């Protein structure tokens, strides 16, 4: 088992919200308000993923802020006679533009509206990938979906392991089981944490859906291209609280350094879970886990005393 840095050793971390809605769809803030509010709280990256509306806002870019061009597409199963969306399963997919400058504009397109036609959906994702977009599968729990809906997805670079807006909606935000089910089905993808903010409630209100789920990118410099490259390589982790400061494999062991937490878990492709737990009233900031090499994949979940999680991507030990 070769030594390797799972998160890059060089560079620094930049905070990102990869799922955001503005007044261009069903959000309450303008794009300028989004930048101001997020930048004030230490964010350097926001993806503007308005529903069915491609958002590229280069005027927001400066040395300390990168707006990612993106949009959110959807595919619903047929509505019941009542017309209620309450029990309708749905795919929500974020598409991130890897090179909006070269593109020079884009009309947000929707997948074929044939729920259950996985071949058609995957063909649409493949076409978007070919056109230079990265696809993220959003909030499976809120979407009322199960493994039969997402295990066949192809061409998805990541899924939302945490969605803050969905968590506030009804504890539908944290979806580690869906991530593991996708991984165990052979899908090699990353995980992100997002807000999916609509900002109906002001900051400070317990129902405010901003500033709760975030993705931390390790970059040597903050540019649009470096963020996209990190997305492609998985040089990031997902969190709604704790920090993962270092993650590597050294001398046959998985080494973790993090902000103070109560529990550090290493989830694998099988039933065996490695863990280190702090004694009552104490915390952990590092741990080392000897690996056998037959774990399949490993992913780290650091949980703090408030029940918040920092989740690494899954790393396959076969390469």
By the 10 Å C-beta count (0-12 exposed, 13-18 middle, 19+ buried), 154 is classed as middle
Amino acid 92: pLDDT: 99
Length of the chain: 319
Classify domain 242-319 at the CATH superfamily level: SOR catalytic domain (2.60.40.730)
Instruction: Profile the chain (319 residues) by mean pLDDT over runs of 10 residues.
Output: 94 99 98 99 99 98 98 97 95 98 93 98 99 99 98 98 98 98 98 99 98 99 99 99 98 98 99 97 98 97 98 91
Amino acid 1: pLDDT: 80
DSSP string spanning 207-261? T--SSSSEEEEEESS--HHHHHHHHHHT-EEEESS--EEEEEEETTEEEEEEEEE
Q: Which two tokens stand for residue 299?
A: 């992913």
Amino acid 319: pLDDT: 55
Separation between Cα atoms, residue 300 and residue 288, nearest integer Å = 11
Q: Which two tokens stand for residue 265?
A: 């878990």
Residue span(s) of the chain under CATH 2.60.40.730 come to: 242-319
**Do the beta carbons of residue 220 and residue 11 sit within 8 Å?**
yes
Residue span(s) of the chain under CATH 3.20.20.140 come to: 10-240
244 Cα distance to chain centroid:
15
Classify domain 10-240 at the CATH superfamily level: Metal-dependent hydrolases (3.20.20.140)
What pTM does this model have?
0.97
């Amino acid at each position: 088992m070769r030594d390797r840095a799972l998160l890059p050793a060089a560079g620094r971390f930049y905070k990102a919200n990869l799922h955001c809605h503005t007044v261009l769809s069903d959000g309450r803030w303008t794009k300028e308000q989004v930048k101001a509010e997020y930048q004030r709280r230490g964010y350097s990256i926001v993806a503007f993923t308005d529903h069915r509306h491609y958002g590229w806002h280069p005027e927001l870019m400066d040395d300390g802020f990168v707006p990612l061009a993106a949009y959110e597409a959807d595919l619903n199963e047929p509505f019941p006679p009542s017309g209620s969306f309450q029990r309708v399963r749905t795919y929500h997919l974020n598409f991130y533009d890897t090179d909006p400058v070269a593109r020079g504009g884009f009309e947000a397109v929707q997948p074929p509206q044939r729920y259950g036609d996985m071949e058609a959906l995957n063909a649409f994702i493949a076409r978007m990938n070919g056109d230079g977009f990265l696809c993220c599968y959003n909030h499976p729990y809120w979407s009322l979906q199960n493994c039969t809906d997402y295990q066949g997805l192809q061409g998805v670079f990541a899924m939302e392991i945490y969605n803050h807006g969905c968590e506030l909606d009804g504890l539908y935000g944290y979806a580690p089981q869906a991530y593991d089910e996708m991984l165990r089905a052979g899908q090699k993808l990353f995980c992100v944490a997002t807000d999916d903010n609509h900002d109906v409630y002001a900051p400070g209100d317990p129902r405010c859906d901003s500033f709760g789920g975030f993705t931390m990118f390790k970059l040597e410099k903050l540019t649009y291209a470096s963020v996209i490259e990190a997305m492609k390589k998985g040089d990031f982790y997902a969190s709604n609280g704790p920090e993962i400061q270092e993650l590597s494999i050294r001398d046959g062991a998985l080494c973790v350094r993090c902000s103070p937490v109560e529990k550090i878990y290493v989830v694998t492709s099988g039933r065996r879970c490695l863990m280190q737990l702090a004694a009552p009233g104490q915390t952990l900031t590092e741990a080392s886990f000897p690996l056998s090499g037959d774990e399949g994949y490993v992913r780290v979940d650091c949980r703090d005393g408030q029940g918040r999680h920092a989740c690494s991507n899954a790393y396959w030990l076969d390469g």
